[in-house]
Amino acid sequence: MRAFARHMTERMKAVAAAGAVAAFWLAVWVFAAALVAQPLILPGPGAVVVALLRLVCDAGTWVILVGSGARILGGLALAVACGGVLAGVSVRSRAFARLVAPALSFVKATPVACVVVLLLIWLGSARVSIAAVFLMALPGVYFSLVEGLAQVDKPLEQMFRLHGVRGWRLFCAHTWREVLPFVLSCAQAVIGMSWKAGVAAELIGMAVGTVGERIYQAKLLIETADLLAWTVLVVAASWACERVLVWLLRASGPVAWRAAVRAHGRSLHGRAGAADVAELALAVGDRAPWAPALDGLVLNVPAAGALA
């Protein structure tokens, strides 16, 4: 009971601190808007809230936001798939890593505007946001996965292999748990960057029916309140995507582990001569993916003490 009360007190303090910070910056905004006294340059919070409510109540806004979000997440998914393949090959081949790393480092250092202009020439405005997100997210995904795969505990991996844990079961029980912290760090950086790159690509390419087009129209008509309202929507969408995807990634660690446990248990069940060899009982239960990998491991060794 005391622990629960202490937890609630800490939560209330955190909420109060966040509210105080928000109130401070809101006051700064109100003061700056009053000082400028030009709504076309810097509208006050009230005008932005009105514009935001108008956008939220318009069904077309959600269609545009979902469409842009789908293209951005599609580009991010392509970057994850391609980055995973490239990272897997790079860990196994130093020559391939030396070949790929400079190109991705160059892409990583290239300004988004330059990439978007080139993509507009090559692909046109319809597909520019997907391609821009793909190129901007790929280096971050690749280098994070390469670093994570390089840090995988090789002796522990050999122990898993010794006890018959191979293929996708080895990936779920060991590799994914080792790489997941690097993936989480990458996700927290790449998801927000993907939204920025995608909307910037739509804005520069003026793709019809996108968030970037609406932002460009607001700028063209000097509707600063609408521009800020669209900005709030984009930030909220980016924040929501990051929270959901990071939560799914965190949950994937225990889920992958339990899947490997069940599959390994089924593979050992009823096996002829299973009592004569060492068996690995993967029984850690619901553990965080970064928990010590050896916790709960049980080795059943035959009486002779020899490992087959």
Between CA 166 and CA 199 the distance in angstroms is 42
**pLDDT value of position 307:** 41
Name the pairing type of β-strands 297-300 and 279-282: antiparallel
Q: Which of 74, 73, 61 is nearest to 230 (CA)?
A: 61
**Residue 20, CB half-sphere, CA atoms under 13 Å: how many?**
6
Residue 177 is predicted with a pLDDT of 87
Report residue 196 CA to chain centroid gap.
14
Q: Which segments of the chain have a pLDDT < 50?
A: 270, 272-308
pLDDT at 294: 42
Query: In b/e form, how buried is each residue of 154-188, taking b as 16+ CB within 10 angstroms?
Result: eeebebbeebbbeeebbebbbbbbbbbebbbebbe
What are residue 300's DSSP bridge partners? 279
Per-residue confidence (pLDDT) for residue 284, from 0 to 100: 37
User: Whole-model pTM?
Assistant: 0.81
In DSSP terms, 299 is beta-bridged to 280
The Cα 107–Cα 138 span in angstroms is 9
The whole-number pLDDT of residue 14 equals 82
- Distance of alpha carbon 134 from alpha carbon 82, whole angstroms: 9
- Phi, psi of 110, deg, nearest 5: -75, 135
Please write the tens of the pLDDT for every residue from 128-148: 999 999 999 999 999 999 999
Q: How far is it, in rounded angstroms, from Cα 241 to Cα 260?
A: 28
Backbone angles phi, psi at 17, to 5 degrees: -65, -45
Q: What pLDDT, on a 0 to 100 scale, did the predictor assign at position 274?
A: 39
Residue type, 195: W
Which residues are registered as beta bridge partners of 281?
Answer: 298
Q: pLDDT value at position 269?
A: 57
DSSP H helix total and E strand total for the chain: 11, 2
pLDDT of residue 224: 92
